[in-house]
Amino acid sequence: MITAQAFSTIEAIDRCAWNDCFADELEDWDYYRAVERAGIDGFHWRYLTLHEDGRLIAGAVAFSTAYSLDTTLQGAGKRVSQWLRRRLPGLFVIRLYALGSPVAEQCHVGTASHIAPAQRPALLAQLLHLAKQDADQLGIGLLAVKDASHRDPQWLDVCRQAGMQSMPGLPGAELPIRFASVDAYLGSLGKSTRKDLRRTLRNHGPRTEWRRSVHDLLPRMMALYEATLARSDLAFECLPAAYFCEVLAHLDERAACVLYWVGDELVAFNLVLLDGRRMIDKFFAHDLARTRQYNLYTRSWLVNVDYCIEHKLATYACGQAGYATKLRLGCSFVGHTVFFRHRNPLLNRLLGLVKMFVRPDRSDPAMAAALSEIE
C-alpha cells in the first residue's frame, strides 16, 4: 500500500532515501537543507513523498509564496506593470503553491532507483494529486509546476493529462564541453565573438580566487549581489547572505565561490555547484563599472569553461538569463514548461488570458530565439 505525506522540512526525510530518488542531482538533500537554513523571505517549503511498506519510493520539492504575475515580464511591459503596481498595490499578486523551487534549475520530481520506468508515471500522478491536496489544505487556489524539464517527457505528460494549462518557461542554457582547450573552444565560435574573447584574454584582468568559505567577505558580496539583482527584470527571489554561506558549508567540495579581485577590491563573485560531470552556475554578481572596464562576465565565463575542460566536466550549465550573449557563446538550450491551474474555474480561465501577455518570450527576442533552438 502506498501512503502519501507532505513535510515542511527536508530534515524529516531520510537523506539517503531522498537522494536515491534523485540520483546524480547536484541539487540534492544537502542543497535543499542549505536553502531551508538560509531563511529566504516570502517562501515556505514543502516536500512531497510517497512511501510503500515504509520505504520512500517517490518525492518532489514544492513551495508556497505570494507570486507576482508580472515576474517574467521585461522591457516596456515590465515598466507598465510597475507603474500599475505603484497605483494599485497587490494588483498582480496571487497566492501560489508550486512544485519546483525558486532556487533550483528545474522542477525536481523523482522515483527510487528500484522503480521501473513503466511504474513512474503513476507515481508522478500521485505526487501531483498530493500537491493539489496540500495546496487545498493550505487554502491556496493556484497550483503550478515551475520549470518542468523537456528531458522528462513522462512528467510533462502527467501534467498535461491532469488538465493543467501550460506556457513556455525560462529555458536553461548549457555549453557542452567537447573541447581539448580554451583555444579550441574559441575556434568553435563566430568570428566576431572569437575576436572579442581573444582580446579579453590578452588584456590584463582581475585576480581570480576559488573559495569554500566567504564569511569575511559577506558585506561586499551582498552589496554586489543587491546591485546586480536591482538591474534584473527577472528576479523572483531575493537571496540572503546566509544562502551563500549555507550552500558552501553543506555541499562541501560540490560548491565553490569564484572571486574576482582588482587589487584589494572584490569586484565580482560567482557561486557554482560542481560534481564529476558538470558545473552549475548559480549566481554571478558584479560591479557594473568594473565589468565595463574588465569584461568581468566574459572573463568569468572563460574561467568556468577552462575549469570544465581541465577537470573533464561534460557540461557547463549556465542559467536562465542573458540569452543573447549565451547564443553567441555557443550554448544549447533545455526547454522548460510552466503548468498551472486555479481551482476556481473563472479565475483559471482568466489566468489563461493573462498568460498570453506574461509569457517570457513575448518581451525578449533573444529568449524567443533560444526557444526556437530547442528540439
CA quadruple 208, 305, 31, 277: dihedral sign: negative
Identify the weakest region by mean pLDDT among 7-11, 18-22, 151-155, 231-235: 231-235
Amino acid 319: pLDDT: 86
At 100-111, the pLDDT tens digits run: 999 998 999 999
Domain that holds residue 110: 2-171+336-372
Three-state DSSP at 273 gives strand
176 pLDDT exceeds 60? yes
Based on the fold, state whether residues 210 and 68 are members of the same structural domain: no
| Signed CA dihedral, 233, 239, 244, 246: sign only | negative
Q: How much is the average pLDDT of 149-178?
A: 95
Residue 151 sits in the same domain as residue 196: no
Q: Are residues 350 and 278 in the same domain?
A: no
| Per-residue pLDDT reduced to its tens digit, 296-346 | 999 999 999 999 999 999 999 998 888 889 999 999 999 999 999 999 999
Q: Are 314 and 332 in contact (CB under 8 A)?
A: no
Per-residue pLDDT reduced to its tens digit, 124-139: 999 999 999 999 999 9
Please answer whether residues 272 and 244 qualify as being in contact, where contact means their C-beta atoms are separated by less than 8 angstroms: no
| Residue 247 and residue 192 in one domain | yes
Q: Is the dihedral of CA 85, 89, 95, 99 positive or negative?
A: positive
Same domain, 97 and 198: no
Provide the CATH number for the domain around residue 229: 3.40.630.30
140 and 92, same domain (yes or no): yes
Q: Which of 272, 157, 156 is nearest to 214 (CA)?
A: 272
Q: How many domains does the chain have?
A: 2
CB 60 within 8 A of CB 13: no
pTM of the model: 0.90
Residues 11 and 149 grouped into a single domain: yes
Q: How far apart are CA 328 and CA 185, in angstroms?
A: 12
pLDDT tens, residue by residue, 251-262: 989 999 999 999
Do 166 and 183 share a structural domain? no
- Predicted pLDDT at 354: 75
Residues 118 and 223 in one domain: no
Residue with cell 505525506: 5
Q: Are 206 and 74 in the same domain?
A: no
- 3-class DSSP assignment, residue 279: strand
Is residue 311 located within the same domain as residue 361? no
In the predicted model, is pLDDT for residue 229 greater than 50? yes
Relative orientation angle of helices 241-250 and 218-230, to the nearest 10 degrees:
120
Kindly tell me the burial class for residue 215, based on how many C-beta atoms sit within 10 Å of its own C-beta (0-12, 13-18, 19 or more). exposed
